[in-house]
């Protein structure tokens, strides 16, 4: 027996009139495969049933997603990142720029030198060079005679070359009275029988050339100064070089050619200032050495 549906189509017994009922339990309702069925047309029915999958196709997971293509490795543990393409930009060309496009600051390697060691080696090297240089200078100076040293002083007057005869004639020749000398103050020649004391004596008044010349013969160095050209302080500086030193004497000599003059037998040095460094050079070279009567007394 058949019934007629409201649409006019015949229906089979047992079907729900509304078409919304559930199929009997244990049986699945097959879709109508007819040419006019809307269930088979995916363009008209979005809930159409997909065609059966071939063997080997991945099964749909419980959540509706497939587990991947056939033959691929498992996706791994839950919560891990997929093994596919990396997320984000590639890191292949990252030279020179940071994460935000800013240029990377190059890391400076500490190449500081150990200046302490360098300074120590430099000082030691300079000391060695200085010691060697000073030793060489001493060796050269030691090889020089006192005559070489005194003749090397700038401005020295060597009367042993220019007045050798007068000096030779006056050696040991004692004469009374005044003597005309070829140098002022005297540096040698005829002289008085008495010498001027020259044991570091500083005279405040002028003394006779004839007596001072006799002291030069014994090896003394005679320092003279012009009071009009040398101050009291300057005279004191000169006196400090004389006091307490044997074969040294000092006296004022008004009107002499220079402010300060130094005399030894046959040599003379004239300077303008009492602190001239050549004064010490003259004293060191000529004292005692320039005497023509070695060992003669000076007191």
Give domain status of residue 87, yes or no. no
Give domain status of residue 4, yes or no. no
Name the percent of the chain lying above pLDDT 70.
Answer: 61
- Cβ atoms of 298 and 222 within 8 Å: the answer is no
Give domain status of residue 268, yes or no. yes
169: domain range? 157-286
Give domain status of residue 150, yes or no. no
Give domain status of residue 49, yes or no. no
In the chain, alpha helices (H): 115-143, 146-151, 159-162, 164-170, 209-217, 232-240, 278-286
CA distance 271 to 277: 10
**Tally of domains in the chain:** 1
Mean pLDDT across the stretch 260-264?
99
Give domain status of residue 215, yes or no. yes
Per residue in 66-93, pLDDT (tens digit) is 444 444 555 555 555 555 555 555 555 5
Mean pLDDT, rounded, of the chain: 78
Mean pLDDT across the stretch 291-295?
92
What pLDDT score was predicted for residue 266? 98
Residue 251 maps to which CATH number? 3.40.30
Burial (CB count within 10 angstroms: exposed 0-12, middle 13-18, buried 19+), residue 260: buried
pLDDT over 50 at 144, yes or no:
yes
Give domain status of residue 164, yes or no. yes
What pLDDT score was predicted for residue 109? 59
The sign of the CA dihedral 226, 227, 229, 231 is positive
pLDDT over 60 at 14, yes or no:
no
What pLDDT score was predicted for residue 68? 47
Least confident of 245-249, 251-255, 293-297: 293-297
What pLDDT score was predicted for residue 134? 75
pLDDT over 90 at 11, yes or no:
no
> According to the per-residue pLDDT averaged within each range, which of 22-26, 72-76, 110-114 is highest?
110-114
pTM of the model: 0.56
Which residues are within 8 A (CB) of 277 and not within 5 positions of it... i.e. 6 or more apart? none
**Residues linked to residue 10 through DSSP beta bridges, in sequence order:** 4
> According to the per-residue pLDDT averaged within each range, which of 14-18, 38-42, 114-118, 165-169 is highest?
165-169
What pLDDT score was predicted for residue 263? 99
The band of 56, judged by pLDDT with boundaries at 50, 70 and 90, is very low
pLDDT over 60 at 15, yes or no:
no
The band of 145, judged by pLDDT with boundaries at 50, 70 and 90, is very high
What pLDDT score was predicted for residue 73? 53
The band of 142, judged by pLDDT with boundaries at 50, 70 and 90, is low
pLDDT over 70 at 258, yes or no:
yes
Give domain status of residue 295, yes or no. no
Residue 129, CB half-sphere, CA atoms under 13 Å: how many?
A: 6
The band of 244, judged by pLDDT with boundaries at 50, 70 and 90, is very high
- Cβ atoms of 177 and 162 within 8 Å: the answer is no
């Amino acid at each position: 027996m058949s019934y007629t549906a409201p649409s006019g189509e015949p229906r089979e017994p047992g079907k729900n009139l509304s078409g919304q009922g559930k199929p009997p339990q244990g049986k699945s309702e097959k879709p109508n495969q007819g040419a006019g069925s809307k269930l088979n047309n995916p363009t008209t029915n979005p809930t159409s049933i997909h065609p059966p999958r071939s063997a080997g196709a991945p099964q749909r997971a419980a959540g509706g997603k497939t587990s991947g293509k056939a033959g691929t490795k498992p996706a791994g543990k839950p919560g891990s990142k997929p093994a596919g393409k990396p997320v984000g930009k590639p890191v292949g060309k990252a030279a020179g720029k940071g994460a935000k496009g800013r240029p990377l600051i190059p890391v400076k390697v500490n190449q500081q030198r150990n200046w302490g060691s360098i300074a120590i080696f430099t000082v030691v090297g300079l000391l060695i060079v200085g010691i060697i240089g000073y030793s060489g200078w001493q060796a050269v100076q030691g090889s020089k005679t006192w005559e070489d040293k005194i003749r090397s002083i700038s401005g020295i007057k060597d009367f042993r070359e220019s007045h050798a005869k007068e000096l030779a004639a006056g050696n040991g020749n004692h004469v009374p009275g005044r003597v005309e000398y070829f140098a002022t103050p005297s540096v040698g020649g005829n002289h008085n029988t008495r010498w001027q004391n020259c044991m570091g004596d500083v005279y405040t008044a002028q003394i006779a050339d004839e007596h001072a010349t006799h002291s030069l013969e014994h090896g003394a160095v005679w320092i003279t100064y012009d009071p009009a050209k040398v101050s009291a302080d300057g005279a004191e500086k000169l006196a400090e070089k004389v006091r307490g030193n044997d074969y040294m004497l000092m006296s004022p000599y008004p009107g002499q050619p220079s402010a300060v003059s130094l005399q030894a037998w046959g040599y003379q040095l004239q300077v303008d200032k009492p602190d001239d460094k050549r004064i010490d050079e003259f004293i060191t070279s000529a004292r005692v050495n320039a005497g023509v009567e070695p060992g003669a007394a000076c007191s």
